[in-house]
Amino acid sequence: MKQRIITADNHYRELDQWVEKNGAKRILLVCDDSIQYHKELNAHLRQIENMGVELIRFCGFRPNPLYDSAAGGAKLFRDKGCGAIMAVGGGSAIDVAKCIKLFSNMDTAKNCLKQEIVPNSIPFLAMPTTAGTGSEATQYAVIYFNGAKQTVTHESCIPETILLDPGALKTLPAYQKKATMMDALCHGIESFWSVNSTEESREYSRAAIAGVMEHMDGYLANYDEGNAGMLTAANAAGKAINIAQTTAGHGMCYKITSLFGCAHGHAAILCDRVLFPWMIKNTDKCIDPRGESYLKETLSDIAKAMGCPNAIEGARKLQKIFDDLKLEIPAATELQLEELKGSINTVRFKNHPIKLDGEAIDMLYRRALRDFA
């Protein structure tokens, strides 16, 4: 499905057009706390309400959203007679909105995760308020059911319209800005070397990496142009992982997040910055059917997208970017290392172009983290 990307230019003219075109009198607005800081958008949403469109706010979910929240949202959508969904927020808000769309024509009294997904044409607009997850571009929604992480996958949960509004990034805390940018960069890199990559996904990966490089300074300085560029780069990265998925870096990083309280993108770059140089030295263990020379070329292409002449320089640059951001390197005890090794996401490892055995994973975790002294 080709997504339409709209901007906030001319006082949200294209958002107004979307509201008019879908004709819904009631729109379910799925949003997280970040919306309160976006004064221009809020003022505009009030204008939309003054035009006779009711916005039913649904904020009843937390980061790492629960299944029950999404099922509750789907029930609210139906009970209020909503005709469209607008999601404003980070990855969790967008994931909840995706599930609401899918669950809205299911029996919410029963477990929706076990029911057949019948695609629907509910107008669905997503406005990401971080430049990182790329959730607005993917067919995946992560939701927790009885404490276990579930990934709902269906093409029809991809928003048909995306609103990229740089104003949404203005008030993001610096740490969140850095971490989400690193998530986008890791998506670009991992999707590029993924065994599932295609010609199309590689173009998105290339655009994502080059976009992060080009706009990093302006984004960190909070300029509109930098923020707009980073949103576009993160969106391209989302399109890339929608096709090629993520790999070992993401497979290793999930537990780092919960063990050390790091943001997801922070944990991902901790891993990718050590994976990249390790991969350069271990291309002979390539399991991508396209072969070792293809993998070598890919690593070099990643470096070129980063503005570097070769893979070694690319890996060095990735480390330098991490160092310059001054993101913390958590210290891990032996017990924590054992816990990390026991909790890797094996699905992600299957996408990785080089086989990682237990010894390699142990060594990579030790390089990614600090010794506990």
Q: What is the distance between the alpha carbons of residues 268 and 265, in angstroms, rounded to a whole number? A: 5
Cβ atoms 197, 140 nearer than 8 A = no
How far is Cα 315 from Cα 38, in angstroms, rounded to an integer?
37
Give 179: exposed, middle or buried? Use CB within 10 Å, 0-12, 13-18, 19+: buried
- Token couple for 85: 């969904």
Among residues 267 and 286, whose Cβ is nearest to Fe ion? 267
Show Cβ contacts of residue 221 under 8 Å, excluding neighbours closer than 6 positions.
none
Give the contacts of 205 (CB within 8 A, at least 6 positions apart).
188, 189, 191, 192, 197, 236, 237, 240, 244, 302, 305
- Please state, in angstroms and rounded to a whole number, the distance separating the CA atoms of residues 28 and 13: 20
As measured in angstroms, the least distance from the Cβ of 268 to Fe ion is 5
Rule CB under 5 A: say whether 136 interacts with Fe ion: no
CB of residue 139 to Fe ion, shortest distance in Å: 15
Give residue number: closest CB to Fe ion: 183
CB of 266 to Fe ion, least distance (A): 11
Tokens of 225: 């142009």
Q: In this complex, which beta carbon is closest to Fe ion, that of residue 142 or of residue 356? A: 142
Taking residues 167 to 196 in sequence order and writing x for each that binds Fe ion by CB under 5 A, - otherwise, the string is ----------------x-------------
> Residues touching Fe ion: how many (CB under 5 A)?
1
Look up residue 317 and give its amino acid: K
Least distance to Fe ion, CB of residue 124, Å? 22
Q: Which string of x and - marks every residue 194-233 that binds Fe ion (by CB under 5 A)?
A: ----------------------------------------
Closer of 32 and 183 to Fe ion (Cβ): 183
Nearer to Fe ion, 183 or 288 (CB): 183
Closest separation between CB of residue 82 and Fe ion, Å? 30
Smallest gap from residue 237 Cβ to Fe ion (A): 9
Which chain residues interact with Fe ion by CB under 5 A? 183
